[in-house]
Amino acid sequence: DQQVKQNSPSLSVQEGRISILNCDYTNSMFDYFLWYKKYPAEGPTFLISISSIKDKNEDGRFTVFLNKSAKHLSLHIVPSQPGDSAVYFCAASEQGAQKLVFGQGTRLTINP
Amino acid sequence: GAVVSQHPSRVICKSGTSVKIECRSLDFQATTMFWYRQFPKQSLMLMATSNEGSKATYEQGVEKDKFLINHASLTLSTLTVTSAHPEDSSFYICSARIGVTNYGYTFGSGTRLTVV
């Protein structure tokens, strides 16, 4: 049972344009969502997060939007840079729970 | 920032042997560590949660006797893959919770295990 889903395995974007990565979830008990970036043969690094009490969180070029009614969140990267090329994972957790549930990841490629 | 050091980064072992993977928290105490497994092009799947000084909690479907987890100190957790088989070949990653906030997770650099 995949509680967190990233339906796009890959995404290719032109440098300077906006990258939009999507994530859907099924567990209505999730109240905290995170995005991680991962390079090959490395562990994930934290990018940005959002609590369920908010619908938007912004940090520099990265913005995460949360639509609770649709159980959907998205990560916007603008402007996209070649160094953003990586696999991006969406993760979620329930209040009081320690563990994170990850999506399958989306491989983002930024083309010069 | 808080760093989790994971070793080895890559290991090749013969079928039937055991392999130990270490994760150390540097400059902070990790009361809880998580062990994940990632198959190619797939999600990070949580295998188990280890708390210092107590038995690990395994996720459904994860064999406790095959994947031995020890968290004997606040800075060290180990995962031992016992009697490894080719199907155990995977990328294993540890993670430590560094605070009470939900973004307080830091990950090790991962271990690529290949069983031949």
- What is the C-alpha separation between B32 and B51, in angstroms, rounded? 5
Tell me the pLDDT tens digit for each residue of A71-87.
999 999 999 999 999 99
Q: Where are the alpha helices (DSSP H) in B1-90?
A: none
Select from B50, B45, B59 the least CA-distant residue to B32. Answer: B50
> Percentage of chain B with pLDDT > 90?
65
| Percent over 70 (pLDDT), chain B | 95
Query: How many beta carbons lie within 10 A of that of residue B103, not counting itself?
Result: 16
Given this model, what pLDDT does residue B100 score? 60
**B33-57: average pLDDT:** 88
On whether the CB atoms of residues A105 and B39 are closer than 8 A, the answer is no
> Residue B23: pLDDT band by 50, 70, 90 thresholds?
very high
B83: left (phi over 0), alpha (psi -120 to 50) or beta: left
Alpha-carbon distance A69 to nearest alpha carbon in chain B (angstroms): 22
Residue in the structure block whose two tokens are 């000084």: B53
Pair B50, B72: CB distance under 8 Å: no
Strands (E), A39-111: 45-51, 56-59, 62-67, 72-77, 86-94, 101-102, 106-111
Q: What's the one-letter identity of residue A92?
A: A
Q: How confident is residue B101, by pLDDT bands cut at 50, 70 and 90? A: low
Nearest CB among A9, A43, A101 relative to B93 is that of A43
CB-CB: which of B44, B106, B112 is closest to A102? Answer: B44
Q: How are beta strands A30-38 and B57-58 bridged, if at all?
A: unpaired
Mean pLDDT of chain B: 90
Provide the pLDDT confidence category of residue A35 given band limits of 50, 70 and 90: very high
Q: Nearest-5° angle of CA A3, CA A91, CA B53?
A: 100
CA distance A110 to A80: 7
Q: Band of the pLDDT at B102, cuts 50, 70, 90?
A: low
Q: In what order do the strands lie in the sheet with B19-26?
A: B3-7, B19-26, B76-81, B67-73
Q: Write down the pLDDT at residue B52.
A: 82
Test B49 with A99 for CB contact under 8 angstroms. Answer: yes
In this predicted structure, what is the pLDDT of residue A98? 75
CB contacts of B23 in chain A (<8 Å) are none
Closest listed residue to residue A52, CA positions, set A1, A94, A10: A94
Tens of pLDDT, residues A38-66: 998 888 999 999 999 999 999 999 999 99
Least confident of A21-30, A92-101, B85-94: A92-101
Mean pLDDT over residues B1-26, rounded?
Answer: 93
